[in-house]
């Protein structure tokens, strides 16, 4: 893990420098929103993955930072629009943008960041890069939509759950990796290898996130505790719990989630049961399978420090506790 | 004008066919929103401008329809996000999307349409096309933001008004023309000529729109009458009226607009005064100057039917009554 930490330590200031510079150029109202969400402490996983993917395929130029940073711009744009949808109070431990700046300003700031990311991508003069970016954005918005559709119609279906987490999270992580590969080379097989690494790692990332939602008090994650249950989102720990119940019991609980009639006491009880049965741990075990797959995807890549760091980053996903 | 009408008559079914086909492929919830906004009757000005610009520079391939249609997708995306911002009731004569489908679904459908337009653009394999699209989207979102900023701080300033209308309307019309030119050729001077035609035509288009807002009953435009004044938007007819008033009177009216304390009776009175002094007509005269400029921009283009139709389209902007 020391290589991984050293890599983040080296790259983070350069990524943050780019984000700071680029958001400073934005127009008044957008600038405030963009800096609020982008300069709050973040892990910068997506930009680092872009850098690692490109470097692992031999790309050594320093012009990579705008492209890497554009993935953080995209991610921030989805956070801005998401928080309005979820009506979230907190994001990255600070008050959500739409509560500070207003819904209108936040929608438009999201649009500006999406457009800025696309413009940065287009500036590399490779249409494949624009194509990957656009597909990533589309899949992400479609994943969100799918998730929302199932809030009003919650169901215990692992297939649907997987579709949702691939769309809302894994595709953008795949995009981060794929775009680095596309910058480095024109070999579609290598791009797919790196892209599939990202896809599997992204699935694991969301699985761990969904486990954490049932494991951590809000002070650690910067999000309210048991937030998914509160918002009516059916994720794997809850699916595992529902599968343990009698049909009738499960149906009743789903109906309460759907109709938003779940009392605080009942929610606390469900949280407690899920913890007691260690369904978060079971969810993490599923994540571990995807991490194994992710690392296997990298086999066509030449051995390099970056390739090792990519594997360490994948392992790190499993161990994070916030 | 007969060439113009014949051109629209020929191209409209092809553009609508593309929009129908492309939106049918979208996912459940997005599909509903997208078709609601895109299949309502529309003038399809932007796609037709893309086609005319490309054909006027000698591009004859039939693969132009997705690119032309992508401009309508972008336009629809901005309408979706706008209507949430404005909390509009009507759009193109039908109920606004967010009231039919919900705010959440409408925000995400807008994101999907933006991404789809970018993906379509990227598929042409010319990074200049992606770059123009991204810049157009960014300028449009920034224009919207600027407009919103001045709703809470209304002012009588023609420079600011011009900045706003260029951003929120003219840049996307410029983009429609510029992107057709970029598809047809790699000559940046010709691209600029066609782009500047679009920019000036777009300014005139919005000036006429702002005049219409004070001229037409809502049945004609599909928008509520005197809507701009109602929403606190200071447009040229109102600026001209404020310039006619004593300083103190103007300040008082601006304060009422800012504080949303304008009574219905007072608003009707302002509407009546603006009509009496024919400030809508004066606004159209300003539009006529921009149309003249627009047509001059086309002088470097070879003479062709499309070049003539572009000029007719510009003239048509001035005469439209809805």
- We report the CATH number of the domain holding residue B29 as 1.10.600.10
**CB of A113 within 8 A of CB of B145?**
no
The yes-or-no verdict on residue A90 having pLDDT over 60 is: no
The Cα of B77 is separated from the nearest Cα of chain A by a number of Å equal to: 10
- Residue B96 pLDDT level (bands cut at 50, 70, 90): confident
Set of chain B residues whose Cβ sits within 8 Å of the Cβ of A105: 145, 148
The yes-or-no verdict on residue A107 having pLDDT over 70 is: yes
**CB of A224 within 8 A of CB of A216?**
no
Interface membership of B142 toward A (CB under 8 Å)? yes
Record: contact A137-B111, CB cut-off 8 A: yes
Q: Which residue of B has its CA nearest to A122?
A: B131
Nearest beta carbon to residue B145 from set A27, A123, A125: A27
C-alpha to C-alpha distance for B257 and B234, rounded to whole angstroms: 9
| Structure confidence at residue B86 (pLDDT) | 60
Angle ∠(B199,B294,B12) on CA atoms, nearest 5: 75
| Structure confidence at residue A152 (pLDDT) | 73
Shortest CA distance to B295 belongs to which of B180, B177, B183, B185?
B177
The alpha-helical segments, DSSP class H, found in A152-263 are 158-165, 171-184, 188-215, 218-221, 227-231, 236-244, 247-258
Residues 83-112 of A with CB under 8 A from B: 84-85, 103-105, 107-112
Interface membership of B121 toward A (CB under 8 Å)? yes
Rounded mean pLDDT, A308-319: 94
Q: Note whether ipTM > 0.90 here.
A: no
Highest mean pLDDT among A95-109, B212-226, B304-318: B304-318
**pLDDT tens by residue, A154-204:** 777 899 999 999 999 999 999 999 999 999 999 999 999 999 999 999 999
- Residue B66 pLDDT level (bands cut at 50, 70, 90): very high
Q: Which residue of B has its CA nearest to A105?
A: B145
| Structure confidence at residue B91 (pLDDT) | 57
The yes-or-no verdict on residue B87 having pLDDT over 70 is: no
**pLDDT tens by residue, A191-246:** 999 999 999 999 999 999 999 999 866 555 555 567 888 888 899 999 999 999 99
Greater model confidence, A24 or A155: A24
Q: Rounded to whole angstroms, what are the CA distances from A148 to A258, B107, B175?
A: 12, 12, 33
Rounded mean pLDDT, B39-45: 86
Set of chain A residues whose Cβ sits within 8 Å of the Cβ of B121: 130, 134
| Structure confidence at residue B306 (pLDDT) | 96
C-alpha to C-alpha distance for A6 and A312, rounded to whole angstroms: 12
Greater model confidence, B250 or B88: B250
**pLDDT tens by residue, B155-214:** 778 999 999 999 999 999 999 999 999 999 999 999 999 999 999 999 999 999 999 999
| Structure confidence at residue B272 (pLDDT) | 93
Q: What share of chain A is helix, strand, coil (3-state, %, to 5)?
A: 80, 0, 20
Rounded mean pLDDT, B115-124: 94
User: Tokens for A110?
Assistant: 């999201």
**What is the count of structural domains for chain A?**
1
- Residue B30 pLDDT level (bands cut at 50, 70, 90): confident
The Cα of A254 is separated from the nearest Cα of chain B by a number of Å equal to: 22
Nearest beta carbon to residue B115 from set A110, A119, A134: A134
The yes-or-no verdict on residue B92 having pLDDT over 70 is: no
The Cα of A111 is separated from the nearest Cα of chain B by a number of Å equal to: 6
C-alpha to C-alpha distance for A270 and A241, rounded to whole angstroms: 9
Rounded mean pLDDT, B57-74: 96
User: Tokens for B80?
Assistant: 């979706």
The Cα of B231 is separated from the nearest Cα of chain A by a number of Å equal to: 14
Set of chain A residues whose Cβ sits within 8 Å of the Cβ of B142: 27, 30, 112
Set of chain B residues whose Cβ sits within 8 Å of the Cβ of A31: none
Identify the H or E element spanning B70. Answer: helix B64-86
**In percent, how much of chain A has pLDDT > 90?**
67
The yes-or-no verdict on residue B124 having pLDDT over 90 is: yes
Record: contact B116-A125, CB cut-off 8 A: no
- What single-letter DSSP state applies at residue A125? -
Identify the H or E element spanning A91. Answer: strand A90-91
- Residue A96 pLDDT level (bands cut at 50, 70, 90): confident
If one counts every other C-beta atom within 10 angstroms of the C-beta of residue B75, the result is: 25
**CB of A298 within 8 A of CB of A196?**
no
Q: Which residue of A has its CA nearest to B105?
A: A145
- Residue B258 pLDDT level (bands cut at 50, 70, 90): confident
The Cα of B5 is separated from the nearest Cα of chain A by a number of Å equal to: 34
The yes-or-no verdict on residue B41 having pLDDT over 90 is: no
Interface membership of A186 toward B (CB under 8 Å)? no
Kindly report the backbone phi and psi dihedral angles of residue B285, in degrees, each rounded to the nearest multiple of 5, phi listed first. -65, -40
Query: In B90-233, at which residue ranges do the beta strands (DSSP E only) sit?
Result: 90-91, 94-95
Q: Rounded to whole angstroms, what are the CA distances from B250 to B158, B235, B244, B256, B275?
A: 15, 14, 8, 10, 17
Interface membership of A217 toward B (CB under 8 Å)? no
C-alpha to C-alpha distance for A193 and A181, rounded to whole angstroms: 9
Long-range residue pairs from A68-71, CB within 8 A, at least 24 positions apart, any chain = A68/A15, A68/A18, A68/A180, A69/A15, A69/A18, A69/A19, A69/A22, A69/A120, A70/A116, A70/A117, A70/A120, A70/A121, A70/A133, A71/A46, A71/A47, A71/A117, A71/A172, A71/A175, A71/A176, A71/A179
CA atoms within 13 A on the CB side of A277: 17
- Residue A30 pLDDT level (bands cut at 50, 70, 90): confident
Record: contact B141-A108, CB cut-off 8 A: yes
Q: Which residue of A has its CA nearest to B150?
A: A29
C-alpha to C-alpha distance for B163 and B144, rounded to whole angstroms: 10
- Residue B128 pLDDT level (bands cut at 50, 70, 90): very high
When scoring A109, A116, A122 by the number of chain B Cβ atoms within 10 A, the one with the most, hence best to mutate, is A122
C-alpha to C-alpha distance for B319 and B283, rounded to whole angstroms: 13
Rounded mean pLDDT, B94-117: 84
**Residue found by looking up tokens 């991204």 in the block:** B134
Record: contact A109-B149, CB cut-off 8 A: no
The three-state (H, E, C) secondary structure of A4-33, written as one string:
HHHHHHHHHHHHHHHHHHHHHCCCHHHHHH
Q: Which residue of B has its CA nearest to A104?
A: B85
Kindly report the backbone phi and psi dihedral angles of residue A74, in degrees, each rounded to the nearest multiple of 5, phi listed first. -60, -45
Record: contact A84-B107, CB cut-off 8 A: yes
Burial of A146 (0-12, 13-18, 19+ CB in 10 A): buried
Record: contact A149-B122, CB cut-off 8 A: no
Nearest beta carbon to residue A85 from set B81, B104, B129: B104
The yes-or-no verdict on residue A94 having pLDDT over 90 is: no
The yes-or-no verdict on residue A319 having pLDDT over 70 is: yes
Record: contact A138-B107, CB cut-off 8 A: no
**pLDDT tens by residue, A268-277:** 999 999 999 9
Set of chain A residues whose Cβ sits within 8 Å of the Cβ of B128: 122
Q: Which residues of B95-130 are buried (b: 16+ CB within 10 A; e: fewer)?
A: ebbbbebbbbbbbbbbbbbbbbbbbbbbbbebbbbb
If one counts every other C-beta atom within 10 angstroms of the C-beta of residue A15, the result is: 22
C-alpha to C-alpha distance for B147 and A138, rounded to whole angstroms: 28
C-alpha to C-alpha distance for B71 and B77, rounded to whole angstroms: 10
Greater model confidence, B224 or A74: A74
| Structure confidence at residue A103 (pLDDT) | 80
The yes-or-no verdict on residue A149 having pLDDT over 70 is: yes
| Structure confidence at residue B193 (pLDDT) | 98
Shortest CA distance to A76 belongs to which of A24, A40, A122?
A40
| Structure confidence at residue B223 (pLDDT) | 55
Rounded mean pLDDT, A261-285: 93
Could you tell me the residue range of the domain that residue A272 belongs to? 2-319
**pLDDT tens by residue, A45-78:** 999 999 999 999 999 999 999 999 999 999 999 8
Interface membership of A141 toward B (CB under 8 Å)? yes
């Amino acid at each position: 893990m020391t290589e991984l930490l050293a890599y983040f330590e080296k790259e983070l200031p350069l990524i943050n420098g780019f984000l700071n510079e680029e958001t400073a150029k934005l127009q008044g109202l957008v600038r405030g929103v963009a800096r609020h969400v982008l300069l709050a402490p973040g892990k910068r996983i997506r930009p680092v993955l872009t850098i690692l993917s490109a470097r692992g395929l031999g790309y050594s130029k320093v012009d990579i930072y705008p492209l890497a940073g554009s993935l953080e711009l995209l991610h921030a744009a989805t956070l801005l629009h998401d928080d309005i949808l979820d009506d979230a109070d907190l994001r990255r431990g600070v008050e959500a943008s739409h509560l500070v700046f207003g819904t209108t300003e936040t929608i438009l700031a999201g649009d500006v960041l999406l457009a800025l990311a696309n413009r940065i991508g287009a500036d590399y003069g490779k249409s494949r890069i624009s194509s990957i970016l656009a597909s990533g954005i589309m899949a992400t918005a479609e994943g969100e939509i799918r998730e929302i559709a199932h809030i009003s119609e919650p169901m215990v279906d692992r297939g649907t759950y997987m579709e949702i987490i691939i769309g809302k999270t894994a595709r953008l992580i795949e995009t981060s990796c794929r775009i680095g590969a596309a910058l480095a080379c024109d070999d579609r097989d290598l791009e797919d290898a790196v892209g599939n690494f990202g896809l599997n790692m992204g699935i694991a990332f969301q699985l761990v996130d969904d486990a954490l939602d049932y494991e951590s008090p809000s002070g650690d994650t910067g999000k309210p505790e048991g937030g998914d249950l509160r918002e009516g989102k059916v994720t794997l720990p809850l699916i595992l719990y529902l599968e343990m119940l009698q049909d009738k019991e499960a149906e009743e609980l789903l109906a309460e989630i759907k109709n938003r009639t779940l009392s605080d006491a009942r929610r606390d009880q469900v949280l407690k049961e899920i913890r007691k049965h260690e369904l978060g741990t079971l969810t993490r075990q599923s994540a571990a399978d995807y991490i194994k797959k992710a690392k296997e995807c990298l086999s066509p890549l030449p051995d390099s420090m970056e390739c090792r760091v990519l594997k360490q980053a994948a392992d790190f996903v499993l161990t994070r506790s916030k």
